[in-house]
Amino acid sequence: MTIHDSFEGALYVATIVTLAEKYGIRLESGSDFDYYAETIASHRPQPIGVPFDPNLNAIHPDDGFWFLGWDRDGRLVFTQAVRLLRIEGQSLADYFRDQYVAFPPAGLPIDFDRSFYSPGPSARRMTGTCAYHGDVWMISDPAYRGTGMSSILARLALATALMTWSPDHMIGFIIKKLAFKGLGEREGYMHSEPAALNWFAKDRPDPMVAQMCWMNRDDLRYLLTIPAETVMA
């Protein structure tokens, strides 16, 4: 991480925190995933994503962080989490060829015998440090939906990852239906690989298909040059 990344990232994060406060959202962050899981279980209808479940993963405090958003009434209105993936010298495609089963959609009974990962050319080229962004959720409330708030809060995670780890790559998976609605682009992602994950739910004939959205370090740096206020507008 360069001094420039740290300075620009801190300004960007401060701007997002201020914008969130204007919408009545108090942001909480941390790296204790036991606390995060307990909060999700108590305040969110959707279960915690498998990659961030501390009962299934040993996430060191230096290797992950999360954000929670609370409204003035004490309701949980937003969540997201990020963790480093231990690729250890292999390509991202090689990593997910073995590990994709650890990244299923939350709360869906999966038929792992039929499900599969299909890497694209970018995943085959990606090496080095990689940060995984997921467990993104926003309450179904017109006070927040359609405001652009989810877009800038997603960028909060991207900027924090750049400041914390300066990863070579940042990735996330988005269900095709939401990807086609532009969710990845709204969150700030600049590239995607279609049909990366194909999940077959038990007793269902058709798969749930997810795209892999991704950025490299230079993309993350470029993202910080786009004013958060512009994203909200």
Residues contacting 142, CB < 8 A, separation 6+: none
At 21 the three-state DSSP class reads helix
Tens of pLDDT along the chain (233 residues) come to 554 567 677 889 999 999 999 989 999 999 999 999 999 999 999 999 999 999 999 999 999 999 999 999 999 999 999 999 989 889 999 999 989 999 998 888 999 999 999 999 999 999 999 999 999 999 988 888 777 888 999 999 999 999 999 999 999 999 999 999 889 998 999 999 999 999 999 988 999 999 999 999 999 999 989 888 887 75
Residue closest to 8 by CA, chosen among 205, 166, 230, 175: 166
Tell me the pLDDT tens digit for each residue of 117-170: 999 999 999 999 999 999 999 998 888 877 788 899 999 999 999 999 999 999
Q: Is the distance from CB of 135 to CB of 49 less than 8 angstroms? A: yes
Quick one: fold of 3-232? Answer: Aminopeptidase (3.40.630)
Contact 31, 66 (CB under 8 A): yes
Strand-pairing partners, residue 66, are: 30, 81
Rounding to the nearest 10 degrees, give the CA dihedral for residues 67, 73, 75, 78. Answer: -40
Say whether pTM exceeds 0.85.
yes
φ, ψ of residue 180 in degrees (nearest 5)? -70, -20
The DSSP annotation for 91-154 comes to: -HHHHHHHHGGGSPPTT--B-TTT-EE---HHHHH--S-EEEEEEEEE-S-TTTTTTTHHHHHH
Count Cβ atoms within 10 A of the Cβ of residue 110 and give its class: 0-12 exposed, 13-18 middle, 19 or more buried: middle
Longest dimension (CA), the chain: 53
Q: How far apart are CA 231 and CA 102, in angstroms?
A: 32
Residues forming a β-bridge with 130? 85, 169
Alpha helix (H) ranges present in the chain? 3-22, 33-43, 92-99, 121-125, 149-165, 176-179, 183-187, 217-223, 228-232
Both structure tokens of 109: 């009974």
Token readout for 105 is 């959609």
| pLDDT at position 198 | 96
